[in-house]
Amino acid sequence: MEVTLRIFRYNPENGKKPHYEEYKVTAEPTDRVLDLLEYIKGNFDGTLSFRRSCAHGICGSDAMRINGHNRLACKLLVKDLHGGKITIEPILGLRVIKDLIVDMEPFFENYRSVLPYLINDEPAPKKERLQSSEERERFDDTTKCILCACCTTSCPSFWVNEQYVGPAAIVTAHRFIFDSRDRGAAERLKILSGQFGVYRCHTIFNCTEACPREIEVTQAIGEVKKAIATGDLG
């Protein structure tokens, strides 16, 4: 099938303003959007820049805005876009460096601000810190995050102010707050109850819609709000 790709282009070194360029390619319905980008880069324009690494939906490198929705280019098939025209843009809310590549630093700064690691100063047991299946299940959903930034850059609160920690950072915080082995919940909840914490979330649900790992992001944020309100880490 014939597909037209309309791709956002910007190169700070060539003096041109940001603009869109169109490329017509022949694609199989089962091709991934990433395949088309690779084809264009290989055959039409080698300067087209985008991030990609594993190409299998795990590394989280190729998040982009495809037909207005944040998606991983490596997980989205042409047939699922239901049309011959595909618009590809960089994810919103972060500075564009070149073409589809954005500066992820504000995103990772927010990520680091919620202490994304296990905190436990108690003396370690001889073998390991044990955890029951139920205790592991409690935060299973939020362990799936691959930090692709699809959720955070689909969030209107983040678009307005990148100081807002954003859904991805809250998901990570959730993963540790509800981990029975962790002892840093109070510290994280204090950070998230602040001015740029969970209360900038207005349950718009864009994050849940965008998540390529199908994490219930808004629910996780709700659970963190509840933990702040009740102190219950169950």
User: Is 116 in a helix, a strand, or coil?
Assistant: coil
In the complex with other proteins, which residue's Cβ is closer, 67 or 193? 193
Q: Any idea which residue has 């390991």 for tokens?
A: 128
In the complex with other proteins, which residue's Cβ is closer, 5 or 170? 170
For residue 215, the tally of other CB atoms under 10 A from its CB is 23
What single-letter amino acid sits at 131?
A: Q
In the complex with other proteins, which residue's Cβ is closer, 103 or 187? 187
For residue 160, the tally of other CB atoms under 10 A from its CB is 11
- 109 sits near other proteins (criterion: CB under 8 A): no
In the complex with other proteins, which residue's Cβ is closer, 2 or 128? 128
Instruction: Tell me if 161 sits within 8 A of 200, measured CB to CB.
Output: yes
Minimum distance between the CB of residue 124 and other proteins, rounded to whole angstroms?
14
| Side-chain-facing half-sphere of 116: CA atoms under 13 Å | 17
User: Is 118 in a helix, a strand, or coil?
Assistant: coil
- 225 sits near other proteins (criterion: CB under 8 A): yes
Kindly state the tokens that stand for 150: 């699809």
Q: Which region, judged by CB under 8 A, interacts with other proteins, from 63-71, 107-115, 206-214, 225-233? A: 225-233
In the complex with other proteins, which residue's Cβ is closer, 37 or 189? 189
Minimum distance between the CB of residue 107 and other proteins, rounded to whole angstroms?
17
- 32 sits near other proteins (criterion: CB under 8 A): no
Residue 231 makes CB contacts below 8 A (sequence gap 6+) with none
End-to-end CA distance of the chain: 52
Binders in 181-200 for other proteins, by CB under 8 A: 181, 183, 185-186, 189-190, 193-195, 197, 199-200
Helix (H) or strand (E) holding 63: strand 63-66
In the complex with other proteins, which residue's Cβ is closer, 59 or 191? 191
Cα 188 to Cα 26, 114, 151, 197, distances in angstroms: 50, 6, 20, 10
- Site string (36-75) toward other proteins, x via CB under 8 A: ----------------------------------------
Using CB under 8 A as the criterion, which residues of the chain lie in contact with other proteins when the complex forms?
130-132, 135, 157, 160-161, 180-181, 183, 185-186, 189-190, 193-195, 197, 199-200, 202, 225, 227-229, 231-234
